[in-house]
Amino acid sequence: MKPFCTILSALAAALACLALGACSTLSDRGGYLVDTGHPARYADSRVQFLVMHYTALSMQDSLQVLSQEAVSVHYLVPDAPESAGGKLIAYQLVPETQRAWHAGASEWQGTTELNGTSIGIENVNPGFRDTPQGRVWFPYSAKQVELIIALAKDIVTRYHIAPTRVVGHSDIAPQRKQDPGPLFPWKALADAGVGAWPDAATVARYLAGRAPNLPLPSASISALQAKLARYGYAVPQTGLLDAATTQVIAAFQMHFRPADFSGVPDAQTEAVLDALLEKYAGDWTPRPPAVAREPE
């Protein structure tokens, strides 16, 4: 009798599957079943951006603040990383599926409040020290750079993060932030396939024989503001070299022309920006309305 009951149970289960659709799409949630056989066409990952920071604290203080206080980040990269089995060790403080509190008031490529759409990496680095001779910035160690590259490359590969969406805190909040600073190894990351960097030959072509430090005429400021906005920066569109625009230009220079980030708009700044826009044309396009739409 038992074999017969078993057969009847199997037949009942098979009929239930036929009624509900393919069994492979049913997920048992305990008190109910969920059919996952009809995935929506318009959806994307929560993670759209990768944001780099420096902590301006020691390793011990960085770990304490980022794990215990009202600020957090997904990953912390030590200034002198330890290793195990021949591999350097980074600290994960927040799961990638969760929102970390690292970006604050921010904007990039039309997206605001990047905490909800980014992964943040804090790098242990003192930042800078002001001296009578001027501000001195602290470099990143070779092992730290090696680990930053390995971690960032893994993240951008898994989430398909576009090169222009690998940014610094100073890029997404240029009016209030300077990290990760002018000594952050952006070119080394780009050489490893992480983030954007202009081609030198293209920069030279756009420079067109002008002196790199030749100031742009005031009539060019409007076009420069438009180009910075097209690349991703939140910049005023006033046609004036106001304080906010100067801060954005300085942030751009700190990322892509760190030898001089005075905020003065010059020929080389314009040429670098033109080269980036040419190289990464189409790298960012607005999301279709169906993607951004949320239930009321």
Any idea which residues carry the catalytic annotation?
A: 122
Please tell me whether residue 77 adopts helix, strand or coil conformation: strand
Q: Is the Cβ–Cβ distance between 166 and 154 less than 8 Å?
A: no
Cα–Cα distance, 89 to 237 (Å, whole number) = 44
H or E stretch covering 165: none
Residue 186: exposure state from Cβ atoms within 10 A (0-12, 13-18, ≥19): buried
H or E stretch covering 289: helix 289-292
> Terminal CA-to-CA distance of the chain, rounded, Å?
55
Q: Is the Cβ–Cβ distance between 249 and 265 less than 8 Å?
A: yes
Angle between helices 221-231 and 267-279 (to 10 degrees): 40
What is the sign, positive or negative, of the torsion defined by CA atoms of 220, 221, 226, 229?
positive
Half-sphere exposure of 252 (CA within 13 A, CB side): 31
